[in-house]
Amino acid sequence: MKKCRKCPSRSAVSEEEIAKMVEDVRSMRGVRLVPEPEFERRFGICMSCEKLEDGSTCMLCGCIMQVRARLADGRCPYPGGGRWKNAVS
C-alpha cells in the first residue's frame, strides 16, 4: 500500500470513515459546498485520474476527494491549473 504524500500513515480510508468526514463537513457552519451535480462532476474526474489512490485519496494533496470535491473553495492540485476546469461553485 502506498503512503500518502502529506502524512506518514496509510492512504486507504474506510467507507465508514469517509462517510463520517462528509457528514462532519456538511454540518460545519461557514463551509460552502458545491451542488451535488458539481461534486459528481469533479469526483468523476478524480475517479479517472492516475493520482487517485484507493478510490479516495489524491496523492498530490493528500486530501480525501469525497470531501475536497464538495468544497466550494476546493481546487484540484494537478499541475497546469488542475483538472476540474469550468467548475461551478
Among 18, 78, 87, 89, binds ligand SF4 (CB under 6 A): 78
**Number of CB atoms found within 10 A of residue 49's CB:** 16
Among 58, 64, 67, 70, binds ligand SF4 (CB under 6 A): 58
Name the segment binding ligand SF4 (CB under 6 A); options: 10-18, 19-27, 28-36, 42-50.
42-50
Contact between 6 and ligand SF4 (CB under 6 A)? no
52-76: string of b/e by CB count within 10 Å (b at 16+)?
Answer: bbeebbbbbbbbbbbbbbbbeebeb
